[in-house]
């Protein structure tokens, strides 16, 4: 009986720790992909571990634009803002999640900001009005951004109930975000249609 009990315990360990990917494909009402949308999953029992992501915590100024346009960052991140242009920039945000101002600095200079609150941080340049970017600060490690095809994959999400949330800058919803309950059980695939405002770049 002791041997059988030990075997049952060993079998239960991988089941309890089982994780799977959540694949989300987002399109607009015209069937076009919805890129640069942030998709997060928050397990009901809590994230279980601190958020950490493999991409660099950098929002550069390059070709008079912020790169990347949307950056997912974990709570407590220090994000650098290197100026890779030959002109000076004055980077700022008035967002409640993080208000800051990086006064004029030039080529190959860098400034760093600490992000200590969850939320959406809209970033602009006081010199170049067309420049805009977004930093999405999250406290869950299960987050991903849609690519040009509108696809995002959240890797190794734990089985069980939780909330799937989506933010996109043109989404017609309070805070440009929607959420829905989701119970993860094995590999999950979600295809959703978003009601998006026309992006300025799409207007003729």
Structure tokens of 153? 């994959």
Is residue 4 pLDDT above 70, yes or no? no
| Per-residue pLDDT reduced to its tens digit, 14-62 | 334 456 899 999 999 999 999 999 999 999 988 778 899 999 999 999 9
Residue pair 75/51 in contact (Cβ under 8 Å)? The answer is yes
pLDDT of residue 49: 81
pLDDT of residue 200: 62
Stretch 108-129: mean pLDDT, rounded? 97
When the pLDDT of each residue in the chain is averaged and rounded to a whole number, the result is 89
In DSSP notation, 30-83 reads TS-B--S-EEEEEETT--SS----SS-SB-EE-SSSEESSEEEEETT-EEEEEB
Q: Would you call 143 helix, strand, or coil by DSSP? A: strand
pLDDT of residue 198: 86
Give 114's contacts (C-beta < 8 A, 6+ positions apart): 76, 77, 78
The structure's pTM equals 0.87
Q: Would you call 140 helix, strand, or coil by DSSP? A: coil
pLDDT of residue 201: 52
Judging by DSSP bridges, how do beta strands 188-194 and 19-28 pair with one another? parallel
| Per-residue pLDDT reduced to its tens digit, 142-195 | 999 999 999 999 999 999 999 999 999 999 999 999 999 999 998 899 999 999
pLDDT of residue 20: 83
Q: Would you call 14 helix, strand, or coil by DSSP? A: helix
Stretch 70-89: mean pLDDT, rounded? 97
| Per-residue pLDDT reduced to its tens digit, 88-109 | 999 999 999 999 999 999 999 9
Give the chain's domains with CATH numbers.
15-46+141-198 (2.60.40.1120), 52-139 (2.60.40.420)
Question: Which residue, chain included where needed, has tokens 């734990």?
Answer: 158
Q: How far is CA 182 from CA 52, 140, 189, 201, in A?
A: 22, 15, 11, 33
pLDDT of residue 47: 78
In DSSP notation, 99-139 reads EEEEEEE-TT-EEEEE--S-EEEEEEESS-TT-EEEEEEES
pLDDT of residue 17: 43
Residue pair 83/59 in contact (Cβ under 8 Å)? The answer is no
Question: Which residue, chain included where needed, has tokens 């249609």?
Answer: 193
CA dist., res. 177 & res. 38, Å (int):
9
Give 26's contacts (C-beta < 8 A, 6+ positions apart): 33, 34, 37, 39, 146, 150, 151, 152, 166, 168, 192, 193, 194
């Amino acid at each position: 009986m002791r041997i059988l009990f030990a075997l049952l315990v060993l079998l239960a360990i991988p089941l309890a720790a089982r994780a799977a990917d959540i694949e989300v494909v987002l399109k607009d009402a015209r069937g076009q992909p919805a890129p640069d949308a942030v998709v997060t999953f928050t397990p009901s029992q809590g994230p279980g571990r601190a958020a950490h992501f493999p991409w660099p915590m950098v929002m550069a100024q390059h070709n008079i634009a912020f790169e990347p346009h949307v950056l997912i960052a974990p709570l407590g991140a220090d994000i650098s803002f290197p100026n890779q242009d030959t002109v000076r920039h004055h980077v700022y945000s008035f967002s409640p999640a993080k208000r800051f101002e990086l006064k004029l600095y030039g080529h190959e200079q860098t400034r760093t900001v600490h992000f200590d609150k969850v939320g959406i941080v809209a970033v602009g340049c006081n010199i170049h009005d067309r420049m805009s970017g977004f930093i999405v600060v999250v406290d869950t490690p299960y987050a991903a951004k849609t690519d040009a095809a509108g696809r995002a994959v959240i890797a190794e999400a734990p089985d069980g109930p939780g909330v799937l949330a989506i933010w996109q800058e043109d989404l017609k919803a309070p805070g440009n975000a929607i959420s829905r309950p989701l119970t993860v059980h094995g590999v999950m695939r979600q295809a959703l249609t978003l009601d998006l405002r026309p992006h300025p770049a799409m207007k003729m």
